[in-house]
Every structure is written in structure tokens, then in C-alpha cells.
Amino acid sequence: MSYFLRATNPKVLAFPKGEYKNTLSWDAFPEDICESLNARISSCCLPHGHRDRTRCVVKAMEVNGFNHGPVLIPATVPRPEPGDGELLVCVRAAGVTPTELLWYPTTHTKHGDRRTSAVPGHEFSGVIAALGKGAQDFYLGEEIYGMNDWFADGATAEFCLTQPQNIARKPRSLSHECAATVPIGALTAWQGLFDRAKMRSGEHVLIHGAAGAVGLFAVQLAHLHGAHVIATSSADDVNFVKQLGADEVIDYETSRFEDQIGSVDVVFDGVGGETLDGSWSVLKPGGRMVTIAADSESTKDQRVKDAFFIVEPNQQQLNVVAKLLDCGTLRAFVSAVLPLEEASIAYSRRVRNKRSYGKVVIAVAA
């Protein structure tokens, strides 16, 4: 299912900060509930069976208001309990992918029914707070980063559930905020370049959207793997993309990449639309196209259907990425950090700062 696709031109509505604060916030909850919430935060890492079950509501931000476009509203929800094989994560930071509010799993259940009150943010960094029966590989209090199921509630909350195979130990050198920017971007880049395009050292690869949250990892990984990297970005981002390792950068606002380059072995498309359409003409015979931003459901073009993929959690890849980050070979970037209460602003893209790169992150109080 191409749930990422509908997201290329999102119209995400959000409460302006002042209005949001005045209309609905946790400040409005009775004091006894606030006390209970504070107690939950401080007891979040107690071993399973030692937690006070009278205090099991936690803060989350939920997607709602589909009539005029999705908005995020604060909510108190029952703290998730890990089932068999699951892990409870005390979230310290969650990455923001604004288009996620429009993706299929945010608005539908696995069975295709309408879904409301989904908690977004499916990449995170945090601490293991409880282990479900039979859950292995991680211990209580361990710092981890990773992803969880798109159809499950995400990490824009104090706690979320995940499974051991979806996470890895957090890169030691990164803060939780920085680590939370990595899983979706790095895994999408890795899986696109290596698993799907089977990119080899010495090949020419064209990366569209190179300054974006996914593109910045694609450029670095392709460069590290010995490819000749040609990238597209806006003029403001050219130097940044060069510093990531691109050999050539084309300003997409003033030049047509089709007129600037010869043929390439691999295209990694993070933009879609006309950019994807024009990319077929620069692909060598036998070249490989991958796109993360095409509407593979509505298109009739089988080539696009074949080129599109959706990122999947992968512990082994997260472990390698963590090592690359810890030895400084790979870099991650935090565009801005907002508190949980301001998640609606983060998802509205209104914090986009041309001078900063990487993802906006929601920080959750420890």
C-alpha cells in the first residue's frame, strides 16, 4: 500500500500556538490527574509488576479533526502494556515526518476501517521501561532507538510499544533528540540504495531531494559506498549537500537535471511527480530506479509500481548505522526540538528553518 504517497503535498492544519494553548491543553486537566501524570513519568522505568497500576494514564498527542484536515490534540491515554514479545519504551524523543498524518495507517486500521485518534511518530529514541513475556535481547533501562508498526500508536507520547526486531541500541555518541532523527531516514536510504537498487561502488547515482531528511542519508551512504553522487536540491542547500559527499549538485529551481547530466546507473527519488517522470530519461539501459514518493496505488505505470517501496524496520541495519554514527563516518542532523505539547506545530511544518537540516524532533520530558 502506498500510504506515503498521498503525502507529497499535505495540507496539514494545526492550531496556531496561542489558540492551541487557549483551547485545549494538559493545563486544563484537574490537579490530581497532573500529579498522577508526574508520578507516572518518574516511575516509568520500574520493572514490570512493580508499577502502580492506579497511575496508568500518560500524555500523548492524537491525530484528529479530519473534516478540515488532520490536527494534533493533547490527550491522556492508558499507558500501553507490552504483550507477549513486546517492549514498552519510555520515549525521550520522536522524529517528525509531517506527511505521516495523511498516510493510510494513520487514518485506517489494518482491516481497512476508519481510524481516529492515532498517535503519530513511528521513529523514536528512548529507554526500555518494561518487557513483555518472552521479549528478548534488551534489558530494562537500556537506551534504544528504532521504529514501530505504522498501524500501532506511535511515539508522540510518553510511552510506546515496539518489538525487539524493530529497534537497536542507541548510538552512544548521539543525544536522544539526535538519535530520533535517524531510523526512518537512514533505513529508507539504506534499503533504497542497497537492498533494492543494489548500488555498487563506482556507479553513478542521482539523488533527488538530497537535502531532505531521507536524502541527506542517501547522499552520505552512497558516497561512503564509493558511488559518484549527483544530487538535486535548492540553491540554498547546495553547499550542505556537497559537504555530505555529493560530487555534483544541481539546483532544481533554476536547472533541469535532465539537461545537466549524462546517464546514471541508479536514481533514488525522494520527490516524485515530474521529478520522477523526468528521471526515466537519464537512466542507463538496465539502470535501477527507486522512489519513495510515488503514488504506486493510483499509477498505471508498472515501472513506478516496481520502483516504489516503503521503509521497514531492520535491527541489523540500525546496528550498522549506529556504528557509523558513533565513529563519525555518518552524520545526523536535528532541525529543531519542540516539546510534546507543541507537536501540532512541528507537524504543520511551521518550524522549517532554511539554516538547519534534518528532522524536527519532539522531546518528551524524562
Ligand X SMILES: NC(=O)c1ccc[n+]([C@@H]2O[C@H](COP(=O)([O-])OP(=O)(O)OC[C@H]3O[C@@H](n4cnc5c(N)ncnc54)[C@H](OP(=O)(O)O)[C@@H]3O)[C@@H](O)[C@H]2O)c1
Task: State in angstroms the smallest separation of the CB of 229 from ligand X.
Answer: 14
Closest CA to 64 of 118, 111, 7, 134: 118
Among 127, 205, 292, 361, interactor with ligand X by CB under 6 A: 292
Residues 76-105 that bind ligand X (CB under 6 A): 97, 99
Choose one: 71-79, 117-125, 137-145, 232-240; the region binding ligand X (CB under 6 A): 232-240
Task: State in angstroms the smallest separation of the CB of 33 from ligand X.
Answer: 35
* Residue 237 to residues 95, 200, 214, 339, Cα–Cα distance (Å): 21, 26, 14, 27
Interacting residues of 205 by C-beta distance below 8 A, sequence separation 6+: 193, 197, 199, 222, 227, 228, 229, 230, 264, 265, 266, 267, 268
Coil vs helix vs strand at 306: helix
Choose one: 49-57, 135-143, 157-165, 212-220; the region binding ligand X (CB under 6 A): 212-220
Establish if 211 lies at the interface with ligand X (CB under 6 A): yes
Residue nearest to ligand X (CB): 212
Total site size for ligand X, rule CB under 6 A: 25
Among 249, 293, 324, 325, interactor with ligand X by CB under 6 A: 293
Residues in the chain: 366
Task: State in angstroms the smallest separation of the CB of 176 from ligand X.
Answer: 19
Task: State in angstroms the smallest separation of the CB of 46 from ligand X.
Answer: 35
Among 8, 64, 76, 175, interactor with ligand X by CB under 6 A: 8
Among 82, 120, 126, 270, interactor with ligand X by CB under 6 A: 270
- Rama region for 104: left / alpha / beta (φ>0; ψ in -120 to 50; rest): alpha
Task: State in angstroms the smallest separation of the CB of 171 from ligand X.
Answer: 20
Of 12 and 128, which has the nearer Cβ to ligand X?
12
Task: State in angstroms the smallest separation of the CB of 145 from ligand X.
Answer: 16
Answer for the pair 108, 115: CB distance below 8 angstroms, yes or no. yes
Answer for the pair 209, 269: CB distance below 8 angstroms, yes or no. yes
Distance CA 281, CA 174 (A): 40
Closest CA to 206 of 228, 184, 239, 225: 228
DSSP 192: I
Establish if 107 lies at the interface with ligand X (CB under 6 A): no
Among 70, 120, 209, 287, interactor with ligand X by CB under 6 A: 209
Among 45, 75, 77, 310, interactor with ligand X by CB under 6 A: 310
Of 138 and 240, which has the nearer Cβ to ligand X?
240
User: What DSSP letter does each residue of 166-233 carry, written as one string?
Assistant: GEEEPPTTS-HHHHTTSHHHHHHHHIIIIIIS---TT-EEEEETTTSTTHHHHHHHHHHTT-EEEEEE
Of 127 and 267, which has the nearer Cβ to ligand X?
267
Task: Encode 22-45: b = buried (16+ Cβ within 10 Å), e = exposed.
Answer: eeeeeeeeeeeeeebbeebbeebb
Task: State in angstroms the smallest separation of the CB of 281 from ligand X.
Answer: 15
Of 184 and 318, which has the nearer Cβ to ligand X?
184
Establish if 36 lies at the interface with ligand X (CB under 6 A): no
Among 170, 208, 223, 288, interactor with ligand X by CB under 6 A: 208
* Residue 38 to residues 24, 47, 58, 66, Cα–Cα distance (Å): 19, 18, 9, 31
Distance CA 280, CA 142 (A): 46
First to last CA, the chain: 36
DSSP 146: E
Establish if 318 lies at the interface with ligand X (CB under 6 A): no
Binding site for ligand X (CB under 6 A): 4, 7-8, 97, 99, 184, 188, 208-209, 211-215, 232-234, 252, 270-271, 275, 292-293, 310-311
